[in-house]
Amino acid sequence: MKRSFDFVIKFANVNGSGSASANLLFAKSLFRMGLGVVPKNIFPSNIQGLPTWYEVRVTQAGRTARRDGVDIMVAMNAQTYSQDIAEITAGGYLMYDSSLPRPFSRKDITILGMPIARMCAEVYERPRERQLFKNVVYVGALTALLDMDFDVVKQAVYDRFDGKDHLIGPNIKALEMGREYALKNFDCPLPIRVKPGKGDKDRIMVTGNEAAALGCVYAGATVAAWYPITPSTSLAEAFERHAKRLRVDKDGKRQVAVIQAEDELAAIGMVIGAGWNGVRAFTSTSGPGISLMSEFMGLAYFAEVPLVLFDVQRGGPSTGMPTRTQQSDITTCAYASHGDTKQVLLFPADPKECFDLTVEAFDLAERLQTPVIVMSDLDIGMNEWVTKPLEWDDARAHDRGKVMDAEMLDRVEYFGRYWDVDGDGIPYRTLPGTHPSKGAFFTRGSSHDNFATYTEDGEVNAENLDRLTRKFATAANFMPKPVIRKSGRSSKLGIINFGSTEPAVREACELLAREGYKLNTMRLRAFPFGKQVTRFADQHERIFVVEQNRDAQMRSLLMTEAGIPGEKLVPVLNYDGMPLTAEWVKNQIEAVIETDKSVAAAMQLSMRAM
Amino acid sequence: MTYMKKPSVRHPDLPKNELGLTRRDYEGLVSTLCAGCGHDSISAAIIEACFELDLPAHRLAKLSGIGCSSKTPTYFLNRSHGFNSVHGRMPSIATGANLANRDLIYLGVSGDGDTASIGLGQFCHAVRRRINMVYIVENNGTYGLTKGQFSATNDKVSQSKKGEANLFEAFDLCTLAIQLGAGFVGRGFSGDKGQLVPLIKAALRYNGFAFLDIISPCVTFNDHEASTKSYGYVRAHNEAMDRLDFVPKLQEITAQYEEGETTSVPMHDGSMMRLHKLDKDYDPRDADNALAILRKRYERGQVVTGLLYVDDDEADLHELLNTTKEPMNAVPMSELCPGSGELEKINKDFR
C-alpha cells in the first residue's frame, strides 16, 4: 500500500469496558502532535455490553470533517467482528486480540494479531485492570505502527491522571507493553502513518457542550434547570462543574443555582420564572424535551420572557436514535408552540461557535425579550472537535435589554408593559420588587393589551400579534450574519448549509473545485433570516441546501420565511445519524449537476461568467 | 357588576397600616368570578393579611396557573407583579423566580384541578425542593371554568350537581403535603375569615414551603345538597384543631389562654405564632399525629381545619443549594463573568 498520511482508524469496542478514555488519549496525542484529528464517538444508548465504535480521521491540520472508508480497524469486540472486518478498505489493516487466534477470510487486508488479553493477564492482578488496560495496550502498539511521538503520548497520560498519580505507572506500563510488542512483531511503521504537522499550536480540542456551558458562564447565566437527556446532558453538567468553581462569593456561597428538574416541562418553567425575575437562565435538552417544552415556549414568546434553550439535536422522530446526530428539529423549533408562534434560532457550526453564539444568545434573548434556541447537535455537542481557542474580550458589555428601574419609573407618567414606545416592537419590562407603586403588571399567556390586562377584544389582540411580527423583523437585524464564501465569484451555483455539516461541505467544495465545479456557499447562523439570505438566493440560479433530516426542513423554512422559490433550492439530505463526509456531499452534488439539465444549465452559465 | 371599573376614590378616614397604606391599596381589579364564590373571600383574606402585616405589596410576587382560582391574583395586590402561567405549572415558575430573587415573598395561588391533576407532579417537586413560598389551593372539588367536571379532590361520596356518582377516591392535599415534607401545612375554609386571615399571615411569614388547602365552595357547580365541598357541608362538619394568633415581631402578646393549651411557635423573622389547642388529640409539631388525625376524621366525614403541621426549623432551597445571600438578580455581571485571563487557563486544559 502506498504511503498515506490521511487515514481513518476505527476502534470497535464493547461499551462500559473503559475504551473511551484510551481512545481519547490516542486522539489527543495526535492533536498535540499538530495533526488534524476528527474523532467521532459512535455509541449505543446503553450502559454496558453493547457494541460501540470510536472513529478517528487523521489528516492535515485544519480539516475537521469525517472521511469515508476505514484504513485501520482495531477490532476489540467479537460480537461485531464480521461487520467490522467487512468495513476495512482493501489494502487496509486489522488489529485484533489474538489471545484466541482465529482465521479471517479477507485476503486483501493485513492482519495484525496481538495477544492483548493474555499480555494483560500476565501483568495485572485485578480483573477490572486486566480489562481496562487492554485498551491502553492497543494504543501503545499504534504508537509504533503509526510512528507517533511516544513522548507526546506519555505526556498525555501524565496530564490525564494529574492528581491520580497511582494510575500513571500502570498506564505507562500498558503503553510500553503494546509498543514493544508491535516493534518486535510487526513491520513498523506501516505505510499508513502520521506525519507530524505544523498545526496551529494554539488550537484546542473540546466538545460543543463544554464550550456552550462555558458560554453560559461567561454570559452571566445564574439559573440553569434541566432534565437529563442524551445528547444534552453533558452541557448542563459542564455548566455546573465550571460554575461551582468560578461562581463563589466572598462568603463561600454560590452565585449560581442548578436544578435537575423533574421533567422538561418543569425545567423550562423554572427558566421562565427566573428570566421573568431578571436573571439570565437557560435549559438544555434534545428533541423529546423540545416537544414537552413547547407549551411553555409559547408562553415565553407571547408573554415576552427572555430565556436561552439549547437543543442538542439527535435522531428523530419520537425517541428515535438518541445517540446519533441529526438536524431534524428545525421546523418544530422555529414554530415551537401552538398559535402563531415564531422562535429565534441560532446555528453554531463548531465548539468555538457554540461558545460565541451562546454568549450572543443571552444578549439577544434579553434584548428581544423572547426565547432564543441554540440549535446544536450530537456531533458538535458530544464529539471532541479541534477548534480555535475560546476568546473573551473584557471590554464586551452584556446587553440586558430594555428594563426600567425605579428611577426610570419615577420619570414616566405611566407604564405599559407591552407598549411599543420605540416603534421597534420591543417594549420595556420591569422586574418584580422594583418600585412601591409603579411598574407592576400581570404577566399572562392570555390575550392582553398594552398594559398587560386581559382582553377579549379581537382587534387589540391582533395589534399585539402584529407588534410581535414587528419585533421579529427587528430581530432579523440583530442576528449573527451568515458566512458567505465565494469560491467561484460569479458562479450561479450555490450551497446553503448550517451547523455541523460545515466541515464536510467546506471540504466537498474543495473536491468539487478540483473537478471544475465552483460553488459559492452560505452558512446560515440564525433564524429569522436577514437580507443577506435573500440576496444570496437572488444571485444564484440553483442552490443546494445540505441538511441532516428527511423532509428538507431548512429548505421549507427558506421558502416560507425568505420567499425563495422552491425550484431554486435543491435538497441534499442525509438522515442516517452519522456526521457527513466530504465525499458524500460531493457525490450528491455532482450527481445532480451531471443529471439535472436545469442545474447543468446553471453550471454552464457560471462557466461562461467566469 | 364585573364590567364596572373600580372607582379610585379613597375615603380619607380609612384606617392605615404602618406603611401608611389603606386596605384599598392592597386590592386588585373587580372580580369576574360568580357572585358568592369562595375564592373572592380568600382574596379578601389575602388583602386583610397583607394589610395587617404591613407588607410592602411590591415586595410580593403572586403566581398562578390556570382556572378560576388562578384568575384571582388579578383581584388582589395591584402593586405586586403577577404571573398567570400555564395550567399546572405555577410551581416551576415559582421555583425559578425564587432562585432569581430570594428576597421577595412568593404567593402561589392554584386550584384543585391545577394542583391535584395536571400539576400534581410539579406541586410534589416544589414541596420536595422546599421552595420558600406560600402555596394556596382554592379547593372546590370541581372544574368551574369548563362547567362542573369532578376534580381529583372531590370526595368519592360527593355527587355532581346533576347527580352523577364520582367513581374515585379524593386526594387529600394536606396529607400529601405533610408526607412530602412541607414545613407548614394548614387547611382553611373560605367561609371562616377569622380562622383564615391568621393562617395566611403565618404562612406569609413562614420561611419554607407553606401550604394552605382552603375549601372554597363553587356556588355554581358544587354547592348543592350532595356535595361535601358546599358551604352547608363544610360548616356542619368543620373540625378546627386550633385557634391561631399571629403575633408580629416586637408586639406584646395580649391574648389570654388557659394554661397548658397554648403552644408558641417562633417564626424566622422574630414574630410568633400562638396556637390555642381546640382538640385534645392535636399536636402541630408531630407529622405522624397530624396524618392520623386527618385520616381518622376524614373517615368520620369531618373536615379538619387549622394549622395542622409546622416544622419551625426547615431549610429552604437556597440553604440547600448554598446560594449567595444577595438576590441572584442583583449580582453584578462583573462578578459573574470570569474574564479573559480565566478563559486562557481553561483553554490550556483543552490542549
Q: How far is it, in rounded angstroms, from Cα A62 to Cα B242?
A: 76
Is the minimum CB–CB distance between B83 and chain A shorter than 8 Å?
Answer: yes
Clarify whether residues A29 and A104 are in a common domain: yes
Q: Kindly list the domain boundaries of chain B, sorted by start residue.
A: 23-334
Average pLDDT over residues A494-521: 96
Range 127-156 of B in CB contact (< 8 A) with A: 129
Do residue B328 and residue A279 have CB atoms under 8 angstroms apart? yes
- Is B93 buried (19+), middle (13-18) or exposed (0-12) by CB count in 10 A? buried
So what's the pLDDT on residue A350?
A: 98
Q: How far is it, in rounded angstroms, from Cα B65 to Cα B214?
A: 16
Residue numbers in A near B56 (CB within 8 A)? 436
Q: From the list A32, A259, A269, which residue is nearest B89 (CB)?
A: A269
Q: From the list B80, B335, B347, which residue is nearest A390 (CB)?
A: B347
pLDDT of residue B262 exceeding 90 = no
Q: What are A542-555's pLDDT values in tens digits?
A: 999 999 999 999 99
Average pLDDT over residues B194-208: 96
Distances in whole angstroms, Cα of residue A442 to Cα of each of A303, A417, A525, B18, B46: 10, 9, 35, 26, 17
Q: What are B110-162's pLDDT values in tens digits?
A: 999 999 999 999 999 999 999 999 999 999 999 999 999 999 999 999 999 99
Is the minimum CB–CB distance between B6 and chain A shorter than 8 Å?
Answer: no
**DSSP per-residue string spanning A405-457:** -HHHHHHSS---TT--TTSSS---EE-TTS-SSSS--EEESS-B-TTS-B---
Q: What are A194-234's pLDDT values in tens digits?
A: 987 777 778 999 999 999 999 999 999 999 999 999 999 99
Query: Contacts from A248-255 at CB under 8 Å and sequence distance 24+?
Result: A249/B324, A249/B326, A249/B331, A249/B335, A251/B324, A251/B325, A253/B322, A253/B323, A253/B324, A253/B325, A254/B321, A254/B322, A254/B323, A254/B324, A255/A222, A255/B323, A255/B324, A255/B328, A255/B331, A255/B335, A255/B336
pLDDT of residue B86 exceeding 90 = yes
Domains identified in chain A, total number: 4
Query: What range does the domain containing A436 cover?
Result: 403-478
Q: How far is it, in rounded angstroms, from Cα A295 to Cα A312?
A: 19
Is the minimum CB–CB distance between A442 and chain B shorter than 8 Å?
Answer: yes
Residue numbers in B near A273 (CB within 8 A)? 63, 83, 92-100
Do residue B83 and residue A454 have CB atoms under 8 angstroms apart? no
Average pLDDT over residues B73-91: 97
Residue numbers in B near A443 (CB within 8 A)? 81-84
Distances in whole angstroms, Cα of residue B343 to Cα of each of A82, A385, B10, B222, B339: 46, 18, 59, 62, 7
Are the C-beta atoms of B238 and B261 separated by less than 8 Å?
no
Is the minimum CB–CB distance between A456 and chain B shorter than 8 Å?
Answer: no
Clarify whether residues A226 and A240 are in a common domain: yes
Q: How far is it, in rounded angstroms, from Cα B67 to Cα B230?
A: 19
The answer to whether residue A180 sits within a structural domain is: yes
**More confident: A49 or A325:** A325
So what's the pLDDT on residue B260?
A: 55
CB-defined contacts A:B, below 8 A: 217
Q: How far is it, in rounded angstroms, from Cα B120 to Cα B122?
A: 6
Q: What residues form DSSP beta bridges with A248?
A: A254
* CATH number listed for the domain at residues B23-334: 3.40.50.970
Average pLDDT over residues A134-156: 97
Interface test with B, best of A28, A223, A251 (most B CBs within 10 A): A223
Average pLDDT over residues B88-107: 98
Clarify whether residues A153 and A273 are in a common domain: no
So what's the pLDDT on residue B1?
A: 41
Q: What are A79-125's pLDDT values in tens digits?
A: 999 999 999 999 999 999 999 998 988 999 999 999 999 999 999 99
Query: What are the strands of the beta sheet with A344-346, ordered from one edge?
Result: A257-260, A221-226, A280-285, A307-313, A371-377, A344-346, A526-527
Clarify whether residues A45 and A153 are in a common domain: yes
Q: Which of A478, A503, A525 is the last residue of a domain?
A: A478
Do residue A436 and residue B58 have CB atoms under 8 angstroms apart? yes
Is the minimum CB–CB distance between A403 and chain B shorter than 8 Å?
Answer: no
Find the helix or strand (DSSP H, E) in which B121 lies. Answer: helix B120-128
Is the minimum CB–CB distance between A108 and chain B shorter than 8 Å?
Answer: no
Is the minimum CB–CB distance between A163 and chain B shorter than 8 Å?
Answer: no
Q: From the list B96, B125, B337, which residue is nearest A218 (CB)?
A: B337
Residue numbers in B near A267 (CB within 8 A)? 92
pLDDT of residue A62 exceeding 90 = no
**DSSP per-residue string spanning A336-398:** -SSSS---EEE---SHHHHHHHHHHHHHHHHHHTSEEEEEEEHHHHHSEEEEPPP---TTPPP
Q: What are A355-409's pLDDT values in tens digits?
A: 999 999 999 999 999 999 999 999 999 999 999 999 999 999 999 999 999 999 9
Is the minimum CB–CB distance between A339 and chain B shorter than 8 Å?
Answer: no
What residues contact residue B204 under an 8 Å CB cut-off, 6+ apart?
B49, B50, B53, B55, B105, B107, B134, B210
> How many angstroms separate the CA of residue A200 from the nearest CA in chain B?
11
Q: What are B30-67's pLDDT values in tens digits?
A: 999 999 999 999 999 999 999 999 999 999 999 999 99
Q: What residues form DSSP beta bridges with A96?
A: A75, A113
Do residue B96 and residue A392 have CB atoms under 8 angstroms apart? no
Clarify whether residues A575 and A440 are in a common domain: no
Q: From the list B84, B91, B100, which residue is nearest A274 (CB)?
A: B100
The answer to whether residue A196 sits within a structural domain is: no
pLDDT of residue A609 exceeding 60 = no
Do residue A267 and residue B350 have CB atoms under 8 angstroms apart? no
CB atoms within 10 A of CB A20: 17
Distances in whole angstroms, Cα of residue B189 to Cα of each of B45, B73, B227, B234: 11, 18, 15, 8
Phi, psi of A283 (to 5 degrees): -135, 160
Residue numbers in A near B347 (CB within 8 A)? 204, 389-390
Clarify whether residues A109 and A11 are in a common domain: yes
Cell of A169: 505507572
So what's the pLDDT on residue B4?
A: 61
Residue numbers in A near B85 (CB within 8 A)? 269, 272, 299, 445
Clarify whether residues A269 and A233 are in a common domain: yes
Q: From the list B59, B82, B101, which residue is nearest A277 (CB)?
A: B101
Which CATH number is A12's domain given?
3.40.920.10
Residue numbers in A near B96 (CB within 8 A)? 223, 225, 269-277, 281
Q: From the list A242, A255, A299, which residue is nearest B328 (CB)?
A: A255
Range 166-205 of A in CB contact (< 8 A) with B: 203-205
> How many angstroms separate the CA of residue B163 from the nearest CA in chain A?
34
Which CATH number is A254's domain given?
3.40.50.970
What residues contact residue B143 under an 8 Å CB cut-off, 6+ apart?
B67, B113, B149, B150, B151
The answer to whether residue A110 sits within a structural domain is: yes
Is the minimum CB–CB distance between B30 and chain A shorter than 8 Å?
Answer: no
Clarify whether residues A88 and A129 are in a common domain: yes
Please give the residue of chain A at the shortest CA–CA distance from B121.
A262
The answer to whether residue A105 sits within a structural domain is: yes
- ipTM score assigned to the predicted complex: 0.96
Q: How much of chain B exceeds pLDDT 90, in percent?
A: 83
Are the C-beta atoms of A88 and A110 separated by less than 8 Å?
no
Q: How far is it, in rounded angstroms, from Cα A293 to Cα A263?
A: 9
Q: From the list B92, B326, B338, which residue is nearest A273 (CB)?
A: B92
Are the C-beta atoms of A235 and A217 separated by less than 8 Å?
no
Do residue B325 and residue A398 have CB atoms under 8 angstroms apart? no
Do residue A433 and residue B86 have CB atoms under 8 angstroms apart? no
Phi, psi of A297 (to 5 degrees): -60, -35
Is the minimum CB–CB distance between A262 and chain B shorter than 8 Å?
Answer: yes
Distances in whole angstroms, Cα of residue A589 to Cα of each of A14, A431, A544, B120: 37, 52, 7, 53
pLDDT of residue B92 exceeding 80 = yes
What residues contact residue A299 under an 8 Å CB cut-off, 6+ apart?
A272, A305, A337, A445, B85, B86
So what's the pLDDT on residue B258?
A: 57
Average pLDDT over residues A143-172: 95
Is the minimum CB–CB distance between A158 and chain B shorter than 8 Å?
Answer: no
The answer to whether residue A169 sits within a structural domain is: yes
Clarify whether residues A463 and A507 are in a common domain: no
- Is A206 buried (19+), middle (13-18) or exposed (0-12) by CB count in 10 A? buried
> How many angstroms separate the CA of residue A528 from the nearest CA in chain B?
27
Clarify whether residues A334 and A461 are in a common domain: no
